[in-house]
Structure 1
Amino acid sequence: MKYTIDRISEIIVICEDENGDMVKVQASALPEGVREGDILTEADGTWTLELEETERRRQRIREKLRGLTE
């Protein structure tokens, strides 16, 4: 399952899963340097930052915003 980081505090990170449910994750369990909007996957308790998926989604959002301002 894929998760999107919604918000980050020092201890807890709130992620939204593909079903729209919010999940609390210990910040220490995630890869270093994650930020809001990053896409993660989890398998057997190991969290992985999905760089290509994150960039693909960010690009899609930039294109939508550009379309709204033109």
Structure 2
Amino acid sequence: MSTAIAAPVDQLLYTPKEAAVVLRFGRSTVYELMAEGALKYVKRGRSRRIRRSDLEAFVNALEPQPN
């Protein structure tokens, strides 16, 4: 059973798990997007974090699907 993570609105950096909740994607999908370069991230040691501005840029770049 999983527990939802409530991310504060003013949060600057997100873990991949928090980003998945915000984007409503699976955690593995977020890691795949990071690996292919579609979603930018910063790395400090072994930790990866995604800037709020990079999440917004990713969403703004998504193309709507035709009906």
TMscore range, shorter length: 0.3 to 0.5
TM-score of the pair, normalised by structure 1: 0.38
Bigger proportion of residues as strand: 1
Choose 1 or 2 for highest CA Rg.
1
TM-score (normalised: structure 2): 0.39
Higher relative contact order (CA 8 A, sep 6+): 2
